[in-house]
Structure formats: structure tokens, C-alpha cells
């Protein structure tokens, strides 16, 4: 789901091993929030058919990290999120995930939605052969009408929140510089002690 | 008086500092009703009452610990729908932990309302402004401050640690034991193994009151490589 430029990302994914791609493109999608995004993705995924939906962990702009959970809710399938390691055996998907306080093994039966962290491994590198092959792979483009989605549910008009005000924060002061003439460590300790941090 | 549902992150019968911060914030908007999960949930009632929880909902069902996210969403949905007449529930405040955000988003979807994540402050909206609750967020590497509001249904707002300093306001808490009717999806994801990491005794980085950061500069004519 994205504007015209999203085709580049799809071609790259195909060159890295994807077999086919679907681009959901519609001007009404501009400004969509996590609820609208998950609605559009869920409808597209249902149409494609799936055993396993694999997503990233969070976007780099808003960083909410809730689209995978919302996808699972909308698709009515297990939510298996924040995988650091992922394995599939028969119709069972198993992940290892690390939180701040514990490590967990989580299992579910497919079909399921899995989100992965940056610890699952290095991405495959697009080879020359892969890049050439990607040019022949199918990319379908679907609109909201193709997915039977009411445009009033997406984009800015469909947003469930509103920004009331934005203010730029004043620039931060430069902090304290200590010139190290061999006693830098002592100066640091003195600073921490003076502030009662140690 | 309107009710604000506060969700406790811990499941071991403790009330971590972010919970007390949420309670302090919730009191600005309405009377806080707290939802606690886990078999040891009842142990936390005294400290919640000390910080102003007028109601405490105990979800002791061990299944909330065995499956990811969904049982907690089921419980919260049930409690939110029973919280009273429409309009009486002013907001739901989960912590902005990864799980807290997933819970908040799924709950908001079920309640047909909106969700705001990573708030650094929450307050009641001005009367007549049309917004009962206003959230403040920090955006673009803290270079912008954004205020926003949920425009549909009961606002669900996930709040980051250190949003405020907890202050006590002791009350008598009414305790409710909640029997959750789990949805079909609740048991679909199972936690088969859990290893708790040894704490270092230091505060969590996200919850620390003071973080000192520093670095060493090398780029001078005499020292740069």
C-alpha cells in the first residue's frame, strides 16, 4: 500500500526472492492511520490468500508497531509478534522473542500473522540474476474499489484521531565540555558527584 | 463522575512506577479504575488504593499469562463495556510498552474508537472544545511537540514512562473479581516457555528519572587519525 513510488520497493522485494507483488494504490489512501492501513492490508491479504503473513516490527516514522496486531485482529488469526527467530514445521509456527525482562517461546497454528525484529537475520542481497528476473515477475495494482473498501474509512477523512497543535521545541543547549588534560576522568566523576548522580 | 481505565503492565502482583504515573494522570480526567492481570493481582490493591484507584478489577485467570495479548484485550473489552453508560468511560490508558500498545490498538478497534501511542502527557480537554482528553506526543526525535485527540469513541491512549511524577491520594478501593469470557482467538497463540532475565538492579532505561549521556571528541588536528 503506497503511492506510485512504492513500485520501486516492490521490484526490490521481487529481486530479493519474492514471486509476485500486489500494489494497493489509491489517492484516497493519503494520510491513512494504523487502522486504515490494517484494513487495506487485511482486505488485500484475504483476496490473495495466505498461510503466513510476515511483517516488519514498526514503521520508521510513527513507530507505533501496532499494524501486525491489528492485522491479526481483523483477519481473525493468531498474532505472533516481535519474533527474533522464526521457524515453521508442518502447520505450526514457532518464534523466540526477547523483551526487556524475559525471553519467550511462542507457538501458533497457521494461518497466522508474524512480525519480525531486526534480529531475525540479514536480508538476502539482490543478485544481478535476481534483478533481471524481477522485471518479468507480475505486479498487480489494486484500487480501493477493487477491494470493495469505502474510501470514507481511510485517509485523513477516515482517521480516528486529530492533531490539534504542533510546536517546534527550542534547540537544546550544548551541554558541558570538559577539556581533557589527563584529568578528564576526574572531571567526569566530579560532575556526577556534584549533581548527586553517584 | 467519569471513569478512566488504567492497565497495569506487571503480572507478578507488583505495581511498577509507570502504573503509579498512569494513576496520577488518570485522576486529572476522572476516577481511576485499574485492571490488573495475573494470579497475584490481589497483592497490588493496597498500593493502587494509595495512589487513588477507586476501583480495582482483578483478572486472576492464569490463561491471560499463557497466551499473547488477546486474553487481556478480551478482559479489557468486557470491563470497558460494563464500565457504565456510554459516555461514562472517559479513556483507557495502557502503558506504551510493546505489548501495551498492541493491547490498546486491538481494544480500540473492537470499541470502534481511536488510539494514540507514546503519549508523554495526558490531560482533560477544555470544556466545550469537543475533546474530553488531550494527549501530548514528542515527534521527530523530540524536535516537535504534538497535541492530539481521539475523535471517535472512547480514547485509548498508551502513555510512556516518566510522563509525570506519581503522587499519592489514598482512597478506599472497591475490588471486583472479573471472570473473563475468552474469545475463540484468545488461546490461538501459546507461550510455551518463558525465561525471566536477572534484573541488574538498575532502573529500566525507559523508566529512569535521570539519564546522563556523554561522549568523547577526537576530531582535533593533533588527535584525528
pLDDT reading at B204 higher than 80: no
Q: Report residue B160 as a C-alpha cell.
A: 510512556
Does residue B116 contact residue B148 with C-beta atoms inside 8 Å?
yes
Are residues A107 and B192, on separate chains, in Cβ contact within 8 Å?
Answer: yes
Give the dihedral sign, CA B58/B60/B65/B67: negative
Task: Write the residue in B69, B148, B185 that is nearest to A161 by C-beta.
Answer: B148
Give the rounded distance of the alpha carbon of B56 from its chain centre.
Answer: 14
Taking phi over 0 as left and psi of -120 to 50 as alpha, with beta for the rest, A121 belongs to left
pLDDT reading at B166 higher than 60: yes
Are residues B98 and A164, on separate chains, in Cβ contact within 8 Å?
Answer: no
Are residues B147 and A163, on separate chains, in Cβ contact within 8 Å?
Answer: yes
Pick the more confident residue, A197 or B58: B58
Does residue B147 contact residue A163 with C-beta atoms inside 8 Å?
yes
Per CB-CB distance under 8 Å, the chain A contacts of B220 are: none
Are residues A106 and B190, on separate chains, in Cβ contact within 8 Å?
Answer: yes
* Partners of residue B196 on adjacent β-strands: A102
Rounded mean pLDDT of chain B? 89
Q: For the segment A160-169, what is each residue's pLDDT rounded down to a tens digit? A: 999 999 999 8
Q: What is the mean pLDDT of residues A37-65?
A: 92
DSSP conformational letter for B41: G
**Nearest chain A CA: its distance from B57 CA (Å):** 24
Are residues A160 and B114, on separate chains, in Cβ contact within 8 Å?
Answer: yes
Check if B219 contacts A (Cβ < 8 Å): no
Are residues A103 and B212, on separate chains, in Cβ contact within 8 Å?
Answer: no
DSSP conformational letter for B30: S
**pLDDT score, position A99:** 80
Q: For the segment B45-66, what is each residue's pLDDT rounded down to a tens digit? A: 999 999 999 999 999 999 998 9
**Nearest chain A CA: its distance from B36 CA (Å):** 18
Rounded mean pLDDT of chain A? 92
pLDDT reading at B87 higher than 90: no
Are residues A162 and B142, on separate chains, in Cβ contact within 8 Å?
Answer: no
Mutate to test the interface with B, among A38, A79, A153 (most CBs of B within 10 A): A79
pTM of the model: 0.91
Q: What is the mean pLDDT of residues B167-191?
A: 92
pLDDT reading at B84 higher than 70: no
Q: What is the mean pLDDT of residues A85-90?
A: 94
Q: What is the mean pLDDT of residues B202-217?
A: 79
Q: What is the mean pLDDT of residues B125-136?
A: 88
Are residues A107 and B68, on separate chains, in Cβ contact within 8 Å?
Answer: no
Mutate to test the interface with A, among B126, B149, B188 (most CBs of A within 10 A): B188
Pick the more confident residue, A99 or A37: A37
Check if B198 contacts A (Cβ < 8 Å): no
Please tell me the least confidently modeled range out of A4-13, A124-133, B45-54: A124-133
pLDDT reading at B225 higher than 60: no
Q: How far is CA B164 from CA B54, B115, B211, in A?
A: 20, 20, 16
Residue-by-residue DSSP string for B165-191: -------PPEEEE------TTTTSEEE
Are residues A79 and B70, on separate chains, in Cβ contact within 8 Å?
Answer: yes
Q: What is the mean pLDDT of residues B138-147?
A: 88
pLDDT reading at B112 higher than 90: yes
Are residues B149 and A164, on separate chains, in Cβ contact within 8 Å?
Answer: yes
**Nearest chain B CA: its distance from A146 CA (Å):** 24
- Residue A116 burial (10 A CB sphere; 0-12, 13-18, 19+): buried
**Nearest chain A CA: its distance from B5 CA (Å):** 19
* pLDDT level of residue B222 (50, 70, 90 thresholds): low
Q: Report residue A123 as a C-alpha cell.
A: 536480508
Q: What is the mean pLDDT of residues B109-115?
A: 95
pLDDT reading at A147 higher than 80: yes
**Nearest chain A CA: its distance from B87 CA (Å):** 17
- How far apart (Å, rounded) are the C-alpha atoms in residues B63 and B60? 9
**pLDDT score, position B85:** 65
Who contacts A133 (Cβ-Cβ below 8 Å, separation ≥6)? A14, A15
Residue-by-residue DSSP string for chain A: --STTHHHHHHHHHHTT-S-EEEE--GGGTT--HHHHHHHHHHHHHHH--SEEEE-S--SSS----HHHHHHHHHTS-EEEEESEEEEETTEEEEEEE-SSEEEEEEEESSEEEEE-TTS-PPPPPPHHHHHHHTTS-EEEE-TTTTT--GGGSHHHH-SEEEEEEEEPPPPP-------SS-HHHHHHHHHHHTT--
- How far apart (Å, rounded) are the C-alpha atoms in residues B218 and A184? 13
Choose among B29, B219, B225: nearest CA to B135. B29
Are residues B193 and A105, on separate chains, in Cβ contact within 8 Å?
Answer: yes
**pLDDT score, position B223:** 55
**pLDDT score, position B221:** 61
Scanning every residue of chain A, which has its alpha carbon at the shortest distance from the alpha carbon of B191? A106
Choose among A134, A122, A159: nearest CA to A30. A159
pLDDT reading at A92 higher than 90: yes
Per CB-CB distance under 8 Å, the chain A contacts of B150 are: 160-161
pLDDT reading at A38 higher than 70: yes
Mutate to test the interface with A, among B105, B130, B151 (most CBs of A within 10 A): B105
* pLDDT level of residue A136 (50, 70, 90 thresholds): very high
Q: For the segment B9-30, what is each residue's pLDDT rounded down to a tens digit? A: 888 888 889 999 999 999 999 9
**Nearest chain A CA: its distance from B211 CA (Å):** 9
Q: What is the mean pLDDT of residues A92-115?
A: 92
Are residues B105 and A69, on separate chains, in Cβ contact within 8 Å?
Answer: yes
- How far apart (Å, rounded) are the C-alpha atoms in residues B157 and B21? 14
Q: How far is CA B52 from CA A6, B11, B25, B32, B166, in A?
A: 50, 20, 11, 7, 11
Are residues B144 and A35, on separate chains, in Cβ contact within 8 Å?
Answer: no
Q: What is the mean pLDDT of residues A131-148?
A: 94
Task: Write the residue in B109, B139, B189 that is nearest to A79 by C-beta.
Answer: B189
Who contacts A17 (Cβ-Cβ below 8 Å, separation ≥6)? A124, A130
- Does this complex have an ipTM over 0.85? yes
3-class DSSP state of B106:
helix
pLDDT reading at B7 higher than 80: yes
Amino acid at each position: 500500500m503506497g503511492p506510485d513510488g512504492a513500485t520501486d520497493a516492490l521490484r526490490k522485494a521481487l529481486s530479493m526472492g519474492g514471486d509476485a507483488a500486489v500494489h494497493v494504490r489509491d489517492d484516497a489512501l493519503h494520510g491513512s492511520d494504523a487502522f486504515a492501513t490494517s484494513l487495506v492490508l487485511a482486505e488485500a491479504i484475504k483476496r490473495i490468500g495466505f498461510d503466513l503473513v510476515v511483517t516488519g516490527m514498526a514503521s520508521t516514522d510513527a513507530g507505533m508497531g501496532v499494524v501486525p496486531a491489528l492485522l491479526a485482529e481483523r483477519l481473525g488469526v493468531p498474532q505472533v509478534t516481535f519474533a527474533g527467530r522464526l521457524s515453521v514445521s508442518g502447520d505450526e509456527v514457532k518464534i523466540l522473542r526477547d523483551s526487556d525482562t524475559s525471553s519467550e517461546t511462542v507457538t501458533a497454528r497457521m494461518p497466522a500473522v508474524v512480525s519480525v525484529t531486526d534480529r531475525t537475520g540479514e536480508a538476502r542481497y539482490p543478485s544481478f540474476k535476481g534483478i533481471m528476473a524481477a522485471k518479468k515477475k507480475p505486479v498487480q495494482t489494486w484500487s480501493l474499489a477493487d477491494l470493495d473498501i469505502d474510501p470514507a474509512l481511510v485517509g485523513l477523512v477516515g482517521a480516528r484521531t486529530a492533531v490539534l497543535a504542533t510546536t517546534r521545541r527550542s534547540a537544546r543547549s550544548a551541554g558541558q565540555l570538559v577539556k581533557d588534560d589527563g584529568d578528564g576522568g576526574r572531571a567526569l566523576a566530579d560532575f556526577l558527584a556534584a549533581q548527586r548522580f553517584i | 463522575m467519569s471513569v478512566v481505565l488504567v492497565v497495569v503492565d506487571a503480572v507478578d502482583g507488583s505495581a511498577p512506577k509507570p502504573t503509579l504515573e498512569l494513576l496520577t494522570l488518570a485522576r486529572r480526567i476522572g476516577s481511576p479504575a485499574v485492571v490488573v492481570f495475573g494470579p497475584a493481582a490481589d497483592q497490588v490493591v493496597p498500593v493502587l488504593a494509595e495512589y487513588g484507584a477507586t476501583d480495582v478489577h482483578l483478572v486472576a485467570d492464569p490463561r491471560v499469562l499463557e497466551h499473547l495479548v488477546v486474553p487481556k484485550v478480551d478482559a479489557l473489552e468486557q470491563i470497558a463495556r460494563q464500565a457504565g453508560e456510554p459516555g461514562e468511560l472517559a479513556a483507557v490508558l495502557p502503558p506504551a510498552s510493546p505489548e501495551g500498545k498492541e493491547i490498546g490498538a486491538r481494544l480500540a478497534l473492537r470499541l470502534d474508537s481511536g488510539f494514540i501511542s507514546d503519549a508523554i502527557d495526558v490531560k482533560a480537554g477544555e470544556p466545550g472544545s469537543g475533546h474530553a482528553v488531550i494527549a501530548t506526543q514528542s515527534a521527530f526525535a523530540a524536535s516537535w511537540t504534538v497535541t492530539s485527540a481521539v475523535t471517535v469513541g472512547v480514547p485509548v491512549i498508551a502513555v510512556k514512562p516518566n510522563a509525570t511524577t506519581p503522587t499519592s491520594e489514598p482512597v478506599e478501593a472497591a475490588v471486583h473479581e472479573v471472570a473473563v469470557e475468552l474469545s475463540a482467538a484468545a488461546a490461538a497463540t501459546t507461550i510455551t516457555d518463558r525465561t525471566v532475565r536477572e534484573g541488574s538492579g538498575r532502573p529500566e532505561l525507559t523508566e529512569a528519572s535521570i539519564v546522563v549521556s556523554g561522549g568523547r571528541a577526537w576530531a582535533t588536528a593533533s588527535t584525528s587519525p
